[in-house]
Chains A and B, each alone.
Chain A
Amino acid sequence: MKTFALAGNPNSGKSTLFNSLTGSRAYVGNWPGVTVERKEGTYLNKKKNQEAKIIDLPGIYSLSPYSPEERIARDYLLSGEPDLVIAVVDSTNLERNLYLTLQLLEMDIPVVVALNMSDALAKQGRSIDVKALSDGLGVPVISISALQSHNLDELMALSLKAAEKKRVGQTVLSHELIAKAKDIYAAEDVPSPLFHAIKALEQDEVEEKDHPEAYRQVGELSVDDTLSSTFADARYRFLEPLVKKCLSGKETKAKEKLSLSDKIDKVLTNKWAALPIMALIMFLIFHIVFGTDLLYIGSIYSAATGNSLFAEGFGGVELIIDGETYQPFADLFYSTDGVNNLGEFLHMLAGDNETGILGCISLGIKQGLININTPTWLVNFLYDGVLGGLAAVLGFVPQIMLLFVFFSFLEDSGYMARVAFVLDRIFRHFGVSGRAFLPMIMGFGCAIPAMINTRSLSSEKEKIKTIRVIPFFTCGAKAEFLVIIAAVIAGIVGVDAGLFTFLTYVFGVAVALIAVIVMTKTTLKEEAPPFIMELPSYHLPQPKALALHVLDKGGHFIKKAFTIIFASTVIIWFLANFSWDYTPIWTLEGEAAETSSILYSLGNLLQPLFTPMGFGVQAGDNGWIYAVASIQGIVAKENVVATAESLSAVAGYGSFADFALASGISTAGLVGFAVFNMLTIPCFASVATAKGELGSKKAYINTLLFWLVTSYGLGTLAYITCEWVWTLAITLPCLAGLIVGLYFYNRPKKIKEVNA
Chain B
Amino acid sequence: MTLFELAVGESAVIKEVSGEKKLVRRLFDMGLTPGVEVYLRKKAPLGDPIELTLRGYELSIRKAEAKSISIEEEKQ
The contact string, 1 if C-beta is below 8 Å from chain B, for chain A 402-431, is 000000000000000000011011101000
Inter-subunit contact A535/B51 (CB<8 Å): yes
* Main SS at interface, chain B: mixed
Inter-subunit contact B22/A424 (CB<8 Å): no
In this complex, what residue of B is CB-closest to A528?
A: B62
Compute how far the CA of A237 lies from the CA of B29 in the bound complex, rounded to whole angstroms.
Answer: 13
Inter-subunit contact B45/A422 (CB<8 Å): yes
Q: B9, B36, B46, B49 — which one has the most chain A CB atoms within 10 A of its CB?
A: B49
Q: Which residues of B contact A424 (CB under 8 A)?
A: 44, 48-49, 62
Q: Which residues of A contact B73 (CB under 8 A)?
A: none
Compute how far the CA of A535 lies from the CA of B59 in the bound complex, rounded to whole angstroms.
Answer: 6
Q: Which residues of B contact A95 (CB under 8 A)?
A: 31, 55-56
Report the interface size class on chain B: 35 or more
Given the known A-B contacts A229-B24, A425-B44, are A99 and B31 also in contact in the complex, defined by CB atoms under 8 Å? yes
In this complex, what residue of B is CB-closest to A255?
A: B39
Given the known A-B contacts A95-B55, A421-B51, A530-B23, are A269 and B42 also in contact in the complex, defined by CB atoms under 8 Å? yes
Shortest CB–CB separation between residue A468 and chain B, in angstroms? 24
Compute how far the CA of A716 lies from the CA of B25 in the bound complex, rounded to whole angstroms.
Answer: 49
Compute how far the CA of A425 lies from the CA of B17 in the bound complex, rounded to whole angstroms.
Answer: 23
* A contacts with B, residue count (CB < 8 A): 45
- Does A61 sit at the interface, judged by CB under 8 A? yes
Tally of contacts, chain A with chain B, CB under 8 A: 119
Give the residues from 1 to 41 in chain B that come closer than 8 angstroms, CB to CB, to chain A.
9, 11, 17, 21-31, 33-37, 39, 41
Given the known A-B contacts A232-B33, A532-B59, are A272 and B17 also in contact in the complex, defined by CB atoms under 8 Å? no
Q: A95, A229, A255, A424 — which one has the most chain B CB atoms within 10 A of its CB?
A: A229
Inter-subunit contact B44/A422 (CB<8 Å): yes
Given the known A-B contacts A424-B49, A426-B46, are A99 and B29 also in contact in the complex, defined by CB atoms under 8 Å? yes
Inter-subunit contact A66/B29 (CB<8 Å): yes
Inter-subunit contact A61/B39 (CB<8 Å): no
Given the known A-B contacts A61-B30, A232-B33, are A530 and B25 also in contact in the complex, defined by CB atoms under 8 Å? no
Give the residues from 197 to 223 in chain A that come closer than 8 angstroms, CB to CB, to chain B.
202-203
- Does A691 sit at the interface, judged by CB under 8 A? no
Compute how far the CA of A722 lies from the CA of B29 in the bound complex, rounded to whole angstroms.
Answer: 55
Inter-subunit contact A533/B28 (CB<8 Å): no
Inter-subunit contact B65/A236 (CB<8 Å): no
Given the known A-B contacts A66-B26, A535-B51, are A422 and B46 also in contact in the complex, defined by CB atoms under 8 Å? yes
Q: Which residues of B contact A64 (CB under 8 A)?
A: 25-26, 29
Inter-subunit contact B49/A425 (CB<8 Å): yes
In this complex, what residue of B is CB-closest to A65?
A: B22
Shortest CB–CB separation between residue B46 and chain A, in angstroms? 4
Inter-subunit contact A530/B51 (CB<8 Å): no
Compute how far the CA of A560 lies from the CA of B25 in the bound complex, rounded to whole angstroms.
Answer: 39
- Does A150 sit at the interface, judged by CB under 8 A? no
**A-B contacts, 8 listed (Cβ < 8 Å):** A229-B17, A233-B34, A236-B33, A255-B11, A270-B45, A272-B45, A421-B60, A530-B62
Q: Which 6 A-B pairs have the closest CB atoms?
A: A232-B28, A254-B39, A62-B29, A425-B46, A535-B58, A254-B53
B residues near A (Cβ < 8 Å) are 9, 11, 17, 21-31, 33-37, 39, 41-42, 44-49, 51, 53-62, 65
